[in-house]
Amino acid sequence: MKREKWGFSVASQGRSDHSRARRGEISTPHGVIATPAFIPVGTKATVKALSVEQVRHTGAQAVLANAYHLYLQPGAEILDRAGGLSAFMNWNGPTFTDSGGFQVLSLGVGFKKTLAMDPGEVTADDVIQSPKLRLAHVDDDGVTFKSHLDGSLHRFTPEISMQVQHQIGADIIFAFDECTTLMNTKEYQQIALDRTLAWAHRCIAEHKKLTEVRVGKPYQALFGVIQGAQYEDLRKEAARNIAALDFDGFGIGGAIDKSALTQIVSWVTDQLPEDKPRHLLGIGEPDDLFRGVESGADTFDCVAPTRNARTSAVYGPSGRFNLTVSENRTAFAPIDEKCTCYTCTHYTRAYLHHLFKAKEILGSTLTTIHNVHFTVKLVDKIREHLDQDNYEEFRDDFLARYYPSR
């Protein structure tokens, strides 16, 4: 199987008890991604509220879309006829697609739609949504689910996920997996782990077949997904098993206890080869990005920057705050005086406050520009300071300002 225009190289590698951070480059048919890198989420072939030109101006190197949503609307065959995801959305850079496995969690379970969770004290499977209320049902062969759009029944298997993702045509695609929550028992986590491994073998077989059949299409790199929740033995088992297969890279997925993120991701990366990239799925809060980089992850995606922006929550030098609070009504200064994004160089907090109070769509666009720019540039700065060998100073200074109460 020819892997033309695909590759990964490590420019520098940290190896200590404190940091596994590394610098590298991912080469794809649509361009190079300098790592570490934050990848904005464009679930339905659009980063919500932004044009592609606005996404480019944030400094984003790539975008991640979702196979499940694009399969339902407009349909993977439409993207295939358009020339693939990049051509369809007029994005002239690298693209990722998530496999749809996370939708099994969010639709089938009905729990929190986030990978980073607080486990609390509940672990019984019966806290999960009752079967009658679920939109998705998992078995060893795949998943049957109801469309959240019209209630129609659909079936996803590893083979169908590969077929859909090949039609969508992203540069980096993920194997179909079963994503669990921290609320599942360890016994069920093992069942899901075994199922995900079996699906990984099937994804590789289908991926190789489609790559050979779809002559003339750019090579799509396939990443295997590693689950295991908060359990060290399961995480390491999953990492070793997935690493032994013919994947181009790896996605670290599943529910992750935020308080132990560094430890959990390190369990995984210690089992993985150093010559393949690792993507940490669903992680995007500033402190978690530092932890992810230090644990050896290369790329990250998360909806938090865009989702927060649409509620008027923006990232500032001293932490996140809401523009709709009364003090911003007469704040004739930008969100961040030092920020170089379009929003901060053209508009004041007072104007943004007005837009949200008036329920104007432009408010969401301007805050999304800022939050995506902030997150992309934060990881860019992490990368730069790794090169300059003063990463820890930068990290400590940033976190002290952003989380002053800690």
Active site residues: 98, 301
- Report how far residue 376's alpha carbon sits from residue 61's, in angstroms, rounded to the nearest whole number: 9
Q: Where would I find the H helices in 96-185?
A: 101-108, 158-168
Q: Comparing C-alpha atoms, which of 65, 58, 115, 74 is closest to residue 95?
A: 65
Give every CB contact of residue 327 below 8 A, 6+ residues apart in sequence: none
Q: Which two tokens stand for residue 64?
A: 């991640």
Strand partners, 28: 31
Q: Check if the beta carbon of residue 67 is closer than 8 Å to that of residue 161.
A: yes
Q: Per-residue DSSP letters for 173-198?
A: EE-------TTS-HHHHHHHHHHHHH
Alpha-carbon distances, residue 309 vs 282, 332, 355, 387 (angstroms): 17, 19, 13, 31
Are the C-beta atoms of 370 and 351 separated by less than 8 Å? no
State how far the Cα of 129 lies from the Cα of 376, in Å rounded to an integer: 35
65, β-bridge pairs: 97
Instruction: Using the structure block, give the residue that is written with the tokens 């049957």.
Output: 144
